[in-house]
Amino acid sequence: MDTGAEVTVISKDVSKALGLDALQPPIKNLYGPDQSPFEVVGETPVRLAYRDKQCTQAIFVLQKVKHNLLGLPTIRALHVLSQVDHVSQPITSTDQLQEYRTAQLADPVCTDLIKLCQ
């Protein structure tokens, strides 16, 4: 996940593994944080699901990408992240911290966030 990314991007290898063969020419150029251009292979609309939310978003396929990124529009559409208004009780004990870390490791966000719907 990258809340600073305007689009969702995946590698060409991941695209092939998901069977996304019908790529369209990209409608815009993509640039990294240092303004260097990405080599965009194409894009395609994809139906995504996370828990009880579904959306259709454009996925950009890059020739080379270090990490597949879920962009902010998709993060918002699927309600992947919650905003915190305030902290009512900070984590102060070692047990609370361990419980928090265990819950984070068990969260399926990283493992099944992008699920193509038939």
DSSP-based three-state secondary structure for 11: strand
Max Cα separation, the chain?
Answer: 53
Please state, in angstroms and rounded to a whole number, the distance separating the CA atoms of residues 9 and 111. 16
For residue 113, name the pLDDT band (cuts at 50, 70, 90): very low
What's the pLDDT tens digit per position in 2-14?
Answer: 766 788 999 999 9
Residue type for 61, please? Answer: V
The predicted model scores a pTM of 0.67
* Nearest Cα to Cα of residue 46 among 31, 61, 54, 56: 56
Write out pLDDT tens, residues 43-65. 999 999 988 889 999 999 999 88
